[in-house]
Amino acid sequence: MNSTELLAALQTQQDEATTRAGELRDRIEHLTAALTETEARLAELATARKVITELAPAAGEPDPPEQATAYQAIVNAFNQHPDQTFRVRELHELLGMPTDDPAINVTRSRLGRLTRQGFLTQPGRGRYKKRT
């Protein structure tokens, strides 16, 4: 093999390597763009998950704190006065809760639930007492 043939073989190999490097650069450019799009989608999904998690509590979680606190205050009132029969408005006055109709209706619902759960009895219409 003479020097001219050797130089020609080296030029062929260099041309092939240059072509291959160009192809790899194109693939890297394409993969980089695909990676950028995928990372943006991941960020969008993470944001959506965070918003949904904040807005909708997962199944099996306890009631929000204000409801748990209201239930606890009601149960505590009946525990402190186990023999007393309460009307909803009297219970609100005892607990320092608002006595407007919407608040009374919410508590009436809570007392109904506590009655169905067996914690309270309803000795008369609109009256509630701790079950003994």
Q: What is the pLDDT along the chain (132 residues), one digit of tens a residue?
A: 799 999 999 999 999 999 999 999 999 999 999 999 998 998 888 888 888 877 776 555 555 555 558 888 899 999 999 899 999 999 999 988 888 988 899 999 999 999 999 989 999 898 999 987
Residues 75 and 96 grouped into a single domain: yes
Residues 126 and 71 grouped into a single domain: yes
Residue 19, exposed/middle/buried by CB under 10 A (0-12, 13-18, 19+)?
A: exposed
Could you tell me if 93 and 77 are in contact, meaning their C-beta atoms sit under 8 angstroms apart?
no
Residues 74 and 100 grouped into a single domain: yes
Q: Which of 79, 105, 110, 74 is nearest to 91 (CA)?
A: 74
Could you tell me if 86 and 128 are in contact, meaning their C-beta atoms sit under 8 angstroms apart?
yes
Residues 45 and 81 grouped into a single domain: no
Which residues form the domain of 16?
A: 1-56
Residues contacting residue 3 through CB under 8 Å, at least 6 positions apart = none
The total domain count for the chain is: 2
